[in-house]
């Protein structure tokens, strides 16, 4: 995959590209000569094709072994900065804008307000999470308690750059479990600018916000009263855009959920609660694991709980799909569709929480880690299924077979990734 020179697309070029795509979408929606193109781009087939293109690229990342170079996965770097993904995202971006225009053209557009909000949220996330990447900067800084340092290495270009602050380590404290594994690592740093000097503390797994920078404690070691550590310094000008997009996605999902969806969620949730309560009583040691610092976060419980709940609901939907092969009743597929909508709402919410957690723990919302990639693959396959089911001329047999494929990708996302060659490079594999 041919990489893109990101320096070509920094601000304001990335903004101009997005505005150009939006203007092109608007022209397509109003010009008589582009009527056929407009009809295609507003169809479910168009968004299915965009998801299929994205799915094909993700499968390459999800199946080919990855190698790490510092904080960057080399294959991830090539794919994320490839022209193929740029065209996929631009096509999806354009389709989403045209669908929003189409929604507003309808007389009863207020009935589709949930879909409109979700589409706007997706556009906002794509704007900050993909088109904003050229403006993101990441540096690596090595510190000690011997002398102040303000020299950093740009992780993208490997060039030496000076940080506006000088830093030195005062001390590093380790709080360990009885087994000797680290529970909390805290580094006390002295930070100096042209005017003042003050002490600050930074913990592993918890960034230190130093506007406009986020400092992450990566590696640390002590030797003969000498403290050494490596900081990852991240500057994300589009961070706010990603958070706004996430909020819109959650709002749109709530607007789309119906009363029966809430009931669908409550029943598996109650079953899971009983199972966990029983396990807590019978085997309490299962819930007292020694967590590494990056796992000690307020996002840990909701992220894992929502994933498990979504897996449960999607498994029940899969059972309904299998029953259809024997009874051939349309009602079974309709019930399966309702379960998938509720399950995917929870699944995406878990993904969003996970991306927030990743930004806090690792400095990036999305790293194309193996687990993340297969979660996106599962999302694409399930949404392709739902869009295909919405086509009047769809065939139930093809839809059911695709549902089985989607469920297989879900198993890969859950535990199948552990058996892939790339698993050794995954940040979701903790030792």
Of 53, 416, 422, 120, nearest in space to 255 by CA: 120
Rounded mean pLDDT, 88-92: 94
Q: What is the pLDDT of residue 71?
A: 43
CA-only gyration radius of the chain, Å: 24
Q: What is the pLDDT of residue 273?
A: 74
3-state DSSP assignment of residue 170? strand
Residues 180 and 128 in one domain: no
Query: Model-level pTM?
Result: 0.90
Total number of domains constituting the chain: 3
Whether 100 contacts 407, CB under 8 Å: no
Residues 178 and 114 in one domain: no
Residue the block writes with tokens 């919302």: 365
Q: What is the pLDDT of residue 1?
A: 55
> Residue 227 — left, alpha, or beta (φ > 0 → left; ψ -120 to 50 → alpha)?
beta
3-state DSSP assignment of residue 346? helix
Q: What is the pLDDT of residue 38?
A: 95
Domain termination residue (choose one: 202, 235, 268): 235
In angstroms, the CA 83 to CA 77 distance is 12
Q: What is the pLDDT of residue 271?
A: 76
Residues 122 and 181 in one domain: no
Residues 270 and 224 in one domain: no
Rounded mean pLDDT, 262-278: 74
Of 193, 137, 141, nearest in space to 164 by CA: 193
Which tens digit of pLDDT belongs to each residue from 215-264? 999 888 887 788 889 999 999 999 999 999 999 999 998 888 776 667 77
Residues 228 and 250 in one domain: no
Domain ranges, residue 144: 137-235
Which tens digit of pLDDT belongs to each residue from 183-224? 888 899 999 987 888 999 998 888 899 888 999 998 888 877
Residues 170 and 200 in one domain: yes
Residues 121 and 156 in one domain: no
In angstroms, the CA 239 to CA 136 distance is 9
Residues 325 and 198 in one domain: no
- Confidence class of residue 162 from pLDDT cuts 50, 70 and 90? very high
Of 118, 28, 46, nearest in space to 391 by CA: 46
Q: What is the pLDDT of residue 85?
A: 87
Which tens digit of pLDDT belongs to each residue from 310-359? 998 999 999 999 999 998 888 999 999 999 998 998 899 999 999 999 89
Residues 286 and 422 in one domain: yes
Which tens digit of pLDDT belongs to each residue from 119-161? 999 999 999 999 998 999 999 999 998 999 999 999 888 899 9
Residues 287 and 422 in one domain: yes
- Confidence class of residue 70 from pLDDT cuts 50, 70 and 90? very low
3-state DSSP assignment of residue 32? helix
Residues 248 and 186 in one domain: no
Residue 66 has pLDDT above 60, yes or no: no
Residues 334 and 400 in one domain: yes
Of 368, 384, 381, 426, nearest in space to 408 by CA: 381
């Amino acid at each position: 995959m041919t990489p893109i020179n990101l320096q070509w697309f920094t601000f304001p070029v990335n903004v101009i590209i997005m505005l150009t795509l939006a203007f092109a979408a608007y022209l397509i929606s109003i010009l008589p000569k582009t009527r056929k193109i407009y009809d295609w781009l507003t169809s479910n087939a168009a968004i299915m094709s965009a998801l299929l293109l994205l799915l094909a690229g993700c499968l390459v990342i999800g199946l080919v072994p990855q190698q790490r170079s510092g904080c960057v996965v080399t294959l991830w770097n090539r794919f994320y900065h490839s022209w193929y993904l740029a065209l996929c995202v631009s096509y999806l971006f354009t389709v989403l804008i045209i669908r929003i225009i189409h929604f507003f053209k309808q007389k009863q557009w207020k009935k589709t307000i949930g879909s409109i909000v979700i589409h706007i949220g997706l556009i906002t996330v794509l704007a900050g999470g993909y088109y904003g990447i050229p403006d993101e900067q990441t540096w690596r800084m090595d510190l000690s308690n011997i002398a102040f340092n303000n020299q950093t290495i740009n992780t993208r270009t490997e060039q030496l750059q000076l940080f506006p602050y000088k830093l030195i380590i005062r001390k590093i404290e380790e709080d360990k479990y009885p087994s000797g594994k680290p529970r909390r690592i805290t580094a006390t740093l002295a930070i100096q600018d042209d005017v003042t000097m003050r002490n600050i503390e930074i913990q592993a797994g918890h960034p230190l916000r130093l506007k406009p920078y986020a400092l992450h404690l990566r590696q640390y070691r002590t030797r003969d009263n000498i403290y050494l550590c490596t900081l990852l310094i991240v500057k994300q000008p589009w961070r706010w855009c990603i958070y706004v997009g996430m909020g819109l996605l959650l709002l749109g999902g709530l607007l789309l959920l119906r009363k029966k969806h809430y009931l669908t969620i409550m029943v598996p949730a109650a079953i899971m609660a009983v199972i966990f309560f029983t396990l807590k009583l019978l085997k309490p040691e299962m819930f007292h694991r020694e967590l590494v610092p990056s796992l000690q976060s307020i996002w840990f419980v909701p992220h894992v709980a929502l994933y498990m709940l979504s897996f449960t609901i999607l498994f029940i939907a899969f059972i309904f799909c299998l029953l259809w092969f024997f009874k051939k009743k349309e009602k079974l597929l309709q019930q399966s569709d309702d379960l998938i909508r509720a399950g995917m709402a929870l699944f995406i919410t878990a993904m969003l929480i996970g991306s927030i957690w990743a930004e806090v723990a690792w400095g990036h919302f999305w790293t194309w880690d193996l687990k993340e990639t297969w979660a996106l693959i599962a999302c694409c396959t399930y949404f392709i299924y739902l869009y295909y089911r919405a086509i009047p001329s769809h065939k139930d047999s093809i839809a059911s077979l695709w549902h089985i494929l989607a469920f297989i990708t879900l198993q890969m996302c859950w535990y199948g990734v552990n058996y892939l060659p790339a698993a050794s490079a995954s940040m979701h594999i903790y030792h």
